[in-house]
Chains A and B, each alone.
Chain A
Amino acid sequence: MADHDITLTVDGTTESLTVESRTLLVHALRDQLGYTAPNVGCESGKCGACTVQLDGDAVKSCTILAVEADGSEVRTAGALADEADGELHPIQAAFHEEHGLQCGYCTPGMLLTTEALLAENSAPSREAIRHALKGNVCRCTGYGTIVDAVETAAERVDASDYPDSATGDD
């Protein structure tokens, strides 16, 4: 039996869908449900463009079967501005101001890895930021401005503001 009925909670919305066994989470999100924030980059678990949070943990949605995620809560970068009533989320604003992006393809993944980092460590060192972002590849910026952006975001974001981004301790 290759088809499975699953339920995901995506950015707060309950979604029911039918997936093949081999459907990857990123394709279920993008192609079947229309959540296009996670991008498909390297397709081999290295670049992090497809990063989402699964039950609070940053993960690579190209390396997880959609059927494995049945019953889970998924958070995409699309939730960030939605939760800020259409304004940029403080992490997004920091990336904007610090020029933490050029083409922007990697940015949705960067934002969610950053959010998970700040939920765990509200004042990370530059070294800790680089360590945390190891799994998110940017081919434009050279990373300096991204680290700047995360530092700026850390100054503005209070982890307690984001109960939905808990890091899996619960």
Chain B
Amino acid sequence: MFPPEFDYERADSVAEAVDRLAAHTQAGADAELLAGGHGLVPAMKAGDREPDAVVDLDTEDLVGVTEREDSLAVGALTTYSDLADSTLVREHAPVLADAVAEVGDVQIRNRGTLGGNLVEAHPAADPPAAVLAADATLVLVGPDGEREVPATEFFVGERETVVDPAEILTEIRVPAAGDGTNARTPETGTRDAGASGAGSTDAAYVRRTHPATGYALVGVAAVLDRDGETVTDARVAATGVVEHAVRLPAVEAALAGGPVDADARTAAAATADDDLDTGRFRSDPSASGEFRQGLLATYVERALAAAVV
């Protein structure tokens, strides 16, 4: 199973890759950016995509995790394996660590990248739900410079994002989660190191694996900021259920201001599909939309329990 013919070009920097993509786009050619290749290469082999050119972005500049004052900066070319092994990610963005550990298998995690995954925008991939629940900001670089896009505005359709043809996702900025002594304060959205001492953040990603594809049948990411037992801010996102990963505002509203005990989790989970029209649920021979809709409530409840118990 060979991909159709294409021109391969290697770019050693983001600037060079942007230039190459822009040149192809202006010439009317269809060019694809190659990151880890574990979305693109299978799609090309299957004939789903037939680019004229593939630009292989090969730079260490986009590899690795950096701790900043109020966020973690994850380079877009960081592999799932490196993220799953990262102490920084485990401590400050646990929902992301949970989600990338679910992706594919060892060989895929050794090669696939977070940035590639997000731009692929597979409707049942795990990382999109995690970056939504983590309230991440995505940094895009294109011919006109850099722009920052909140994760909530990044996914716009099935395998569709706001990334323009000559733009590159370079960095995923995750606001650092609290650990009890270093929590995000909801009033300002900034980290307040140890000032109150009362805040904490709990997070989890859980999923039911699709029996055929290995992607999520339903996956739910939950991040809960708490002051004592009270939820000050809840961010809950689901993947696999509709055309792209989405936040679940009704669940978040149901949790805000209250506890996360078993009753509260059940009540919040009952609102899981409130924001989603029934006809919007994905359906395939393995699982109907109705089945996914039912699973969603169950997995919201499990994600909340996994986060706090």
Contacts and interface: CB of A to CB of B under 8 A. Distances in A.
A158 interface: no
Interface in B97-127: 104-108, 110-111
B79 to A, nearest CB: 9
A60 B45 contact: no
B187 interface: no
B8 A21 contact: yes
A24 B8 CA distance: 13
Interface stretch (B33-41, B67-75, B190-198, B268-276): B33-41
Interface residues of A, number: 33
Interface stretch (A44-52, A74-82, A91-99, A147-155): A44-52
A58 B106 contact: yes
Given A58-B110, A135-B104, A135-B105, A45 B38 contact: yes
A45 B38 CA distance: 8
A134 B8 contact: no
Contact of B107 (A4, A58, A67): A58
B37 A63 contact: yes
B41 A134 contact: no
B8 A43 contact: no
Contact of A63 (B2, B7, B54, B111): B111
B6 A21 contact: yes
B1 interface: yes
A1 B7 contact: yes
Which of A22, A132, A168 neighbours the largest number of chain B CB atoms within 10 Å of its CB?
A22
A168 B1 CA distance: 29
B3 interface: yes
B110 A134 contact: no
Interface in A49-74: 51, 54, 57-60, 63-65, 67-68
B23 interface: no
A65 B2 CA distance: 10
Nearest to A22: B3
A135 B104 CA distance: 8
Contact of B41 (A1, A48, A63, A117): A63
Contacts, number: 84
Which of A4, A46, A48, A63 neighbours the largest number of chain B CB atoms within 10 Å of its CB?
A63
A113 interface: yes
A54 B3 CA distance: 21
A116 interface: yes
A159 B1 CA distance: 36
B179 interface: no
A57 B38 contact: no
A87 interface: no
A2 interface: yes
A93 B53 CA distance: 46
Interface string A134-170: 1110000000000000000000000000000000100
B111 A44 contact: no
A59 B3 contact: no
Given A51-B107, A60-B107, A168-B110, A45 B8 contact: no
B54 A21 contact: yes
Counting from the closest, the 10 A-B pairs by CB-CB distance are: A135-B105, A21-B8, A57-B110, A134-B105, A43-B1, A22-B3, A135-B107, A60-B107, A63-B41, A59-B111
Interface of A: 1-2, 4, 20-24, 27, 43-46, 48, 51, 54, 57-60, 63-65, 67-68, 113, 116-117, 132, 134-136, 168
Interface of B: 1-8, 34, 37-38, 41-42, 44-46, 54, 56, 81, 104-108, 110-111, 214
